[in-house]
Structure 1
Amino acid sequence: MNADDIDQLIHRELPAATAGDAAAFGRIVSASQNTVTAVALAITRDVASSEDIAQEAFLSAWHNLPRLKNHASFLPWLRQITRNLAHDHLRGLRNRPVGGEAAELAIEHAADPSACPMQTALDAERDAMAADLISELPTESREVLLLFYREGQSSQQVARLLGLSDAAVRKRLSRARQSVRDDLLARFGEFARSSAPSAAFVLGVTAAMGASKPAAAAGLGGIAVRAIATNVAARFALGFAGAAAGGLLGGLVAAWFSRGIILGYADSVEEMDVIRRFAYRYMALTLATIIAILGVHLLWQSPQLTFVAIAIALLAMNWQLLVQLPRIMAPFLARDAHRDPFGARARLLAYRLTWGRTGVMMSNVVVIGSMVLVRLYLL
């Protein structure tokens, strides 16, 4: 989608989104997610944090849409929200006690039975690589270069999305090329593309949006909906089932579109069959758990039983991705790292963010966070 199409989509969908249409705002999120996550990543230098911040920025914009008087100012307004949140995040990290970080890391490692020294080292190397690649760039060029590689290497597209002139974008790109080695710039391009948010990002934002509406749209409509939903137990069951099913569906969609990442590690038909069987088995089980959760709700409308079904679904998903898949992929990842140490780092980063622990943690956060938000809304 080019910049003109994005502008037209925002102009077309904003009135409905301001009135409380979550689907309309979801289409805006899909069109602008590359821009917002690039802004956050340029400041934080951490992929997971940048997506959390981008999600928070979209939710903040969703809640405050009625305050936006000029729809043409939406993207600049959203970019500024993102920058403010990213800088707040960095200030929070600087003020955080070291002892607390060490304690959290210890708890995380103790709670993860699949953790091992090699995997811990690979995770640390991934995070360090992302930070180092971005740190090598001039500060003013980071947003531009990230978006440049994510948007088809079009300087005009980047200029429109960041509110700059094409000349300013070209100048920043030129400065980056002059100050960074060619091999590092190539690695950065691969990193920028592989770290772009997937389809699951939009689903995560829209799932969180489902718990509330913009201020102007939450008046009589919200009161009427609550008056109709008189059965409290049914409301809780519906909220839990919908939030969990939506989150799991997002993971299913992401798995389908990212299956090529793990299939790319195969060297033979036999290896590809092993990986493909796992991927299809995982997606089939995820679809089955979504149907089971919704079935429990339709049959019993019990929050307790719905919660049990969701817990079983999360356990099944985590077991496959945190125990079974690492056993399958370990020899392939080691072989790839031995063959091409530099290229393997970027491929490993893409793997971790989609099928690895980081991707699993984000999926869990989406599902559980959506349930918490829905429960708070229905109280």
Structure 2
Amino acid sequence: MRMDTHVDQLIRLELPAARAGDRDAYGRIVVACQNTITAIALAIVRDVPSSEDIAQDAFLNAWQHLRRLQNADSFLPWLRQITRNLARDHLRAKVRGPYPVDDMEAAIAAAADPAPSPPEALIDEERTRAAGELISALPEESRETLLLFYREGQSSQQVARLLGISDAAVRKRLSRARQMVRADLLARFGEFAQGSAPAASFAAVVTSALVVASPPAAAAGLLGAGAGAVGAKTLLQIVLGAAASIGIALVIVFASIGFDLRRQLRKAIDAEERQALTRSAVINAGASVGFMIGILFIAHSTTGWILPVLATLVFMGTVFWQSAVVQPRAMARRHALEAAQDPVAAARARRRERWKCRIGLAFGALGGFGGLIAGLVMSGRLTF
């Protein structure tokens, strides 16, 4: 008969709230599972900072897709597999070579974590090398088991439940490791396993990152946080990653608004029309910036679907009003002159413009509200 651990019970208790978007509930799950997940990653990559990066990514990945999980008992096996996949991806990336100089994540990591001094770098390098040698000296199948064994108070039953294997399998792996590895090396490994366990700040960083890595509502489509190139990620790295994503979105928005304004200004008949068109473009750009900042604030400070929907309605209503009402009014005198000169060509041009406007508005509405609904559903703010 299967005996539940404290971790099993906590996951069953907290997972429903976490699936509904409760970051604090998910944070308590992170605290309960962080030893297991970092140990799994460390057994594969054999590097403590990288293992914590990978574990953080695994927790964030699980948070993003938590609504897909129906059975609380499947959470830990699912999280373990996510971690193993990410760790193997990390090793494959290292084999392919270093990141390019212009890699965005490398730039974020460099900005958030300045390079250590030469003595600190030598110490870190020596520790990393020693840790790698210790782990590499163990049988591959025993690494996860031994790391957790020493981190979990040397309880084989606890390790068995956390890794989803039998107590007999744990004891067999421990016995094999003791036969193959010198006693003094095993003792050193035990000290290393306990000393390399994640600190309390690990869970705090992950919980803080939930806001920007997979924030509720529509902001989920705007923000992302990638793995740091070196060392465990800090909250500053994650925020910088979100800022980079928002910056890219703003560049695209401004480029689109600027291109359309430039096209309209070429045909303007006087300074009054140019001023009106420029003012409309500035309003659209300001609405875009305000929407992105507002949706990030809403994601961080509120729950529920009403405020994200209202923010989206205000933003899209502003853009639609400028495009369908204000800009045609600004161009009305030019259109009248064109109609007086060539009524047939002017009427054809106005029909074409109206159809383009309608199609643009339709696609904008479908894309905007489709993304909003998807974000609300995935974040747990909206259920059916």
TM bucket normalised to smaller: 0.5 to 0.7
Could you tell me which amino acid in structure 1 is paired with residue 63 of structure 2? W
Q: Which residue number in structure 2 is paired with residue 167 of structure 1? A: 168
Cα deviation, residue 366, structure 1: 2.1
CA distance in 1, matches of 2:212, 2:115: 33
User: Is 2:99 aligned against 1:79?
Assistant: no
Q: Which residue number in structure 1 is paired with residue 35 of structure 2? A: 34
Cα deviation, residue 218, structure 1: 3.1
User: Is 2:238 aligned against 1:369?
Assistant: yes
Cα deviation, residue 125, structure 1: 1.3
Q: Which residue number in structure 2 is paired with residue 61 of structure 1? A: 62
Task: Work out whether residues 3 and 157 of structure 1, in 8 Å CA contact, stay in contact via their aligned partners in 2.
Answer: no
CA distance in 1, matches of 2:100, 2:16: 48
Cα deviation, residue 370, structure 1: 2.9
Q: Which residue number in structure 1 is paired with residue 136 of structure 2? A: 135
Identity among equivalent pairs (%)? 59
CA distance in 1, matches of 2:92, 2:115: 32
Distance 1:113 1:55, change over 3 A: closer
Structure 2, unmatched stretches of 5+, are: 221-229, 247-291, 297-384
User: Is 2:206 aligned against 1:210?
Assistant: no
Could you tell me which amino acid in structure 2 is paired with residue 115 of structure 1? S
Q: Could you list the per-position Cα deviations for residues 85-144 of structure 1 after superposition, in whole angstroms to 9, with x for gaps in the alignment?
A: 0000000000015997xxx9xx98xx978623x544322211110100000000000000
Q: Could you list the per-position Cα deviations for residues 181-239 of structure 1 after superposition, in whole angstroms to 9, with x for gaps in the alignment?
A: 0110010000000000001100110111022557xx637xx79xxxxxxxxxxxxxxxx
Query: Normalised by the size of structure 1, how large is the TM-score?
Result: 0.56
Task: Work out whether residues 208 and 373 of structure 1, in 8 Å CA contact, stay in contact via their aligned partners in 2.
Answer: no
Could you tell me which amino acid in structure 2 is paired with residue 66 of structure 1? R
Task: Work out whether residues 145 and 159 of structure 2, in 8 Å CA contact, stay in contact via their aligned partners in 1.
Answer: yes
CA distance in 2, matches of 1:197, 1:16: 25
Could you tell me which amino acid in structure 2 is paired with residue 218 of structure 1? A
Distance 1:25 1:125, change over 3 A: same
CA distance in 2, matches of 1:11, 1:120: 43
Q: Which residue number in structure 1 is paired with residue 117 of structure 2? A: 115
Query: Normalised by the size of structure 2, how large is the TM-score?
Result: 0.55
Structure of larger gyration radius: 2
Could you tell me which amino acid in structure 1 is paired with residue 217 of structure 2? A
Q: Which residue number in structure 2 is paired with residue 284 of structure 1? A: none
Q: Secondary structure at the match of 1:210?
A: helix
> How do 1:327-366 residues align onto structure 2 when only pairs under 5 Å count?
362=232, 365-366=234-235
Q: Could you list the per-position Cα deviations for residues 235-292 of structure 1 after superposition, in whole angstroms to 9, with x for gaps in the alignment?
A: xxxxxxxxxxxxxxxxxxxxxxxxxxxxxxxxxxxxxxxxxxxxxxxxxxxxxxxxxx
Aligned length: 230
Distance 1:62 1:182, change over 3 A: same
Task: Work out whether residues 50 and 232 of structure 2, in 8 Å CA contact, stay in contact via their aligned partners in 1.
Answer: no
CA distance in 1, matches of 2:129, 2:41: 17
CA distance in 2, matches of 1:176, 1:140: 9
RMSD between superposed Cα atoms in Å: 3.0
> How do 1:274-353 residues align onto structure 2 when only pairs under 5 Å count?
none
Distance 1:188 1:167, change over 3 A: same
Q: Which residue number in structure 1 is paired with residue 345 of structure 2? A: none
Q: Secondary structure at the match of 1:76?
A: helix
CA distance in 2, matches of 1:115, 1:18: 43
Distance 1:63 1:98, change over 3 A: closer
Q: Could you list the per-position Cα deviations for residues 307-326 of structure 1 after superposition, in whole angstroms to 9, with x for gaps in the alignment?
A: xxxxxxxxxxxxxxxxxxxx
Could you tell me which amino acid in structure 1 is paired with residue 236 of structure 2? V
Task: Work out whether residues 22 and 206 of structure 1, in 8 Å CA contact, stay in contact via their aligned partners in 2.
Answer: yes
Q: Which residue number in structure 2 is paired with residue 89 of structure 1? A: 90
Q: Could you list the per-position Cα deviations for residues 34-88 of structure 1 after superposition, in whole angstroms to 9, with x for gaps in the alignment?
A: 0000000000000000000000000000000111122210000000000000000
Task: Work out whether residues 20 and 213 of structure 1, in 8 Å CA contact, stay in contact via their aligned partners in 2.
Answer: no
Q: Which residue number in structure 1 is paired with residue 344 of structure 2? A: none
Cα deviation, residue 167, structure 1: 0.1
Structure 1, unmatched stretches of 5+, are: 224-357
CA distance in 2, matches of 1:113, 1:159: 40
CA distance in 2, matches of 1:175, 1:196: 23
Distance 1:207 1:98, change over 3 A: closer
